[in-house]
């Protein structure tokens, strides 16, 4: 599980931007302030989408998790943006085990060896996001309408699903 910002306007032009006025919001990501939306993804070990949603750019990563997990059960591996005891407890009630790393100022949690390995394999979702942005080109700042944005995003997501080779976790590998 991860999220990525979808920028619809350069920061210098936010004040004069009219296409997404009242729809998009300014939010902070790990790489700085962005104006636009966030794409939240849940993928499986084969790099296939299990669920996704789009929120305004200022929405916390933890907020859409309930909508994303829906009928899922099992384990979900997320980054530090999903750290929350309240969220972890709610997911546990729904037969979902959330595994994340801890922040530097937190006590280290004892993780099973499998969970440690799977957290290292989170690079797969980062590769999926990279392919969505660079190959399927779901992000650009030239949209002329919100409908154009939605069509471009959905077309990029569909194009990704049709790729014959997706980033995935190789079960045969001993790395």
For range 134-142, the mean pLDDT? 88
For range 62-81, the mean pLDDT? 91
Name the architecture of domain 2-162: 2-Layer Sandwich (3.30)
Q: Is residue 118's pLDDT more than 80?
A: yes
**What's the predicted TM-score (pTM) here?**
0.88
Is the distance from CB of 98 to CB of 22 less than 8 angstroms? no
CB-based burial, 6-26: b 16+ in 10 Å, e otherwise: bbbbeeeebeeeebbeeebbe
Given this model, what pLDDT does residue 38 score?
94
Is the distance from CB of 6 to CB of 139 less than 8 angstroms? yes
Q: Domain extents for the chain?
A: 2-162
Q: Is 31 exposed, middle or buried (0-12, 13-18, 19+ CB in 10 A)?
A: exposed
The runs of H, that is alpha helices, within 10-140 are: 65-69, 85-93, 113-120, 123-134
Predicted confidence (pLDDT) per residue in 11-38, tens digit: 777 777 788 888 888 888 878 888 889 9
């Amino acid at each position: 599980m991860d999220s990525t910002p979808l920028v619809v306007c350069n920061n210098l032009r936010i004040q004069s931007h009219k296409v997404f006025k009242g729809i998009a919001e300014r939010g902070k990501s790990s790489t700085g302030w962005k104006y636009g939306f966030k794409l939240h993804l849940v993928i499986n070990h084969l790099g296939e989408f299990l669920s996704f949603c789009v929120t305004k750019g200022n929405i916390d990563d933890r907020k859409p998790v309930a909508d994303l997990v829906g009928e899922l059960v099992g384990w979900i591996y997320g980054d530090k943006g999903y750290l929350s005891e309240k969220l972890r407890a709610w997911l546990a009630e729904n037969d979902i085990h959330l595994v994340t790393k801890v922040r530097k100022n937190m006590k280290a949690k004892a993780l099973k060896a499998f969970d440690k390995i799977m957290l290292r394999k989170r690079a797969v979702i980062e590769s999926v996001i990279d392919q969505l942005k660079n190959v399927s080109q779901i992000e650009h700042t030239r949209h002329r309408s919100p409908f154009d944005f939605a069509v471009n995003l959905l077309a990029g997501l569909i194009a990704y699903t049709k790729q014959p080779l997706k980033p995935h976790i190789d079960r045969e590998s001993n790395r």
